[in-house]
Structure 1
Amino acid sequence: MDFKLHHTDSKTNARAGEITTDHGTILTPIFMPVGTVASVKAVHIQELKNDINAQIILGNTYHLYLRPGLDILEKAGGLHKFNGWDRPILTDSGGFQVFSLSAIRKLKEEGAEFRSHIDGSKHFFTPENVVDIQRIIGADITMAFDECPPGDSDYNYAKKSLELTQRWLDRGLKRFSETEGKYGYSQTFFPIVQGCVYPDLRRRAAEYIAEKGCDGNAIGGLAVGEPTEKMYEMIEVVNEILPTDKPRYLMGVGTPANILEAIERGVDMFDCVMPTRNGRNGMLFTKDGIMNMKNKKWADDFSPIEIDGASEVDRLYSKAYLRHLFVSDELLALQIASIHNLAFYVWLTQEARRHILAGDFAEWKREMVKRVSTRL
C-alpha cells in the first residue's frame, strides 16, 4: 500500500491524500461503507459503484469467520471473489465485536475466548490467528487485534487494557511479517491506538504505534459512550503524534458533524453503520439537515428526496413516496434510504477534499456542520 499526501489545509489539520492498493486507489478523506457479513445491507455492488461511488468497503473478521466461514471464503478465492467487489476492502480485526460480547467472552493474555452469537459455540481469537483469518478473507487493509475498553472505563482498567493491546500488537505484527497473502496481491496491516479518554494513555499508545512504521494507523475506542468533546480531544492528542505521511483511520465514527470535525483534526478514513442502520429506520442525512421519513409532514411533499442529491435515487423518488414505502413496510424503503445515506456520506468526504484542495475548507466546514446537524 502507498499513501501520498496531496495537500494540508493552511488553517486546520485537514488533509487530502491518495491511498494506492492492488485493487485500486482511494482519494482521502474517504467514508467506507460497512459490509459486515460480505454485503452492505440492502445495497447491490453496482449501486455501491455507480450510485454511491464507494471506493472501498469494509468486512468484519468476527462475522465472516463465523459465517460463511473460512473454508468457504478460501475456496471462493477470498472475499473479493466471494462478493464480487473488485475495489479495495478493509477488514477490522473483530476486537470490537468480541469485546462487546462481555457476557459470553473471557479475556486472557493469550487472546479472547468467546461464544458465537449464532449458535453458542466456543471460539478463541489470538493476535496471531486473527492475522491468519484476515489473510484468508483477503482484505487489502487488515487490522491488529485489540481490546476496545468502554468509554467510561476507569484509569487503571484503561491502562491495563492498553498494555495488553500493545503486547498483542507486537505478536500480530510478528505474525504478519512472517506470512504472505494467499491470492496474489499484497495486504497491509494497521495498528490501533487505544487508551480510552485519558490523554497520557492515548499519547503513549500513539508513540508506541508510530515507532512501528506501519503503512497506516487507526484510532479506536471512540464513540463508545464518552462525551463528543472528549472524542475530539483524543483525536487531537493522537494526531499530534501519528506520522503525517501515513493515513489515519478513525474507526466507527460517526454522524456527519463528527466526520467533519475529525477531518478538521487530520483524520483521513472513516466507517460507520449509522448511514445504513439509521436509514433502514427512516432517518435520512442531507446537505440541509436530518429528516425522519416516517413523519406525517412528508406525506404530501412531492419534491425530490434531496435537490441536487448525491445519488440517482434522490432524483427518482419524492419524499412523499419514500414516506409511503416506510409506513407500508415496503423493503424498497430500506434500499432507497441506504443508498441515499451512503451516497451522502461519500459525497460529504469528497466535498471536504475538494474544499481542502481549494483552500476554503475551514469556512465551508463551519457552515456545513450547522446545516447537517439541523433537524428538518
Structure 2
Amino acid sequence: MPQQVNGVISRAKGAPVELVPIIVPDPGPGEAVVRIQACGVCHTDLHYREGGIGDDYPYLLGHEAAGTVESVGDGVPDLVPSDYVILNWRAVCGTCRACRRGRPWYCFATFNATQKMTLTDGTELSPALGIGAFADKTLVAAGQCTKVDPAARPAAAGLLGCGIMAGIGAAINTGGVTRGDTVAVFGCGGVGAAAVAGSRLAGASKIIAVDIDDRKLETAKTLGATHVINSRNGDPVAAIQELTGGFGTDVAIDAVGRPETWKQAFYGRDLAGTVVLVGVPTPEMTLEIPLLDVFGRGGSLKSSWYGDCLPDRDFPMLIDLYLQGRLPLDAFVSEEIGIGDVEQAFATMASGQVLRSVVVMGDGDD
C-alpha cells in the first residue's frame, strides 16, 4: 500500500520550505522505496527553491542521501530489502550513444522513477534531481541505488551522492590529476574542498586553494592544500605563477562557476594544462575571452558533470577509502540537523559557516 511519510517541499519560488505529509507509492517495475537515514543540504536544493533550475513546483527537496532499501518492484534482480545504498542522480541507461561507446559516465538518457510521489491531495511532486530525499522514505529508480559497505556512517556516506563526488571526480576523473601534478582549486566550499581532497588522494605534489574566505582556506589546508591564496588580497593568477616557477598549474579547477573565476583558472594553468569547470553557472552568465589565447595556450577546457562519475564504480571505491581512513568524509559534515531544520540550514550555508549541514533522520514510522 502507498505510505504517508513526512517530506520537505518547496511550494513556490523563494518561499520558505515546508515539512508536510507526502504519499510514497509502492515501487513499480524497476523501482525501489528507500528509507532515508541521512541527507546533505546542497546548494542545488537552494537553487530549486529559488527557481534557478525550473518552475515545476512543488519540489520535494534533498538528494545527497544514504539509506536502506525497504522494498523493490518487479524486474529488480540486484537489490533486496535492507541493502545499504547511496542514492545517485545518474542512473545510466546502458543503451544511449554514450553508453554504447563505453562511456557510461556521460550517459545522455539517465532515468528516474516512473511513478510520482504526491501531496495528500494528489498534487504531484517533482523530486530534486529525481531523488527527493528530505523525507522519511523516497521512491527512486532501482538504478539510482548504489550498494556500499554498511559500515560507513550515513551522514558521511550520503555526501558522495552529489557535491563530494562532484569535487573528487572533477579532480580525478575529469581533470586526470595524477602523481606529481600541480593543481589549483578556485572556490573552497563543499565541491572545491572535495576537489582538494581528491587531488591529494591522487598524489598531487602541490595543491593551491583559492578563496575569499580565510575559514574555508583553513579547512582546505586540513584536506590537503599545500598552499592557500585569499584572492581578496591580490591577483590569484600572479600568486599561482609565483608558486609554480612562473608556469601555472597542470590542472586548474573552477568550483565556483563564474566568468571571473573561470578566467582565473584559464590563465592560472600551465601551457597545455587542463581547466575543469565543475561550479554551476547561472543562465545569464556569459564568457568573453580572446580566441587567440585559447589557441595559443593549448591544453584542455572541460566541464565536469557529477565529477564524470560512474556510481557503481566510484561510490564503493570511495567508501572503501573512507573506511580505510584515507578519505576524510567526516570532515565535510559540519553539523547534523533534524528534518525540520532545512530552511535554517539554507541560511547557514549562505553565511559560509559550513561545508555541509546533514539532515539525520530518526527511526521514523510508517
TM-score (norm 2): 0.28
TM-score (norm 1): 0.28
Structure holding more helix per residue: 1
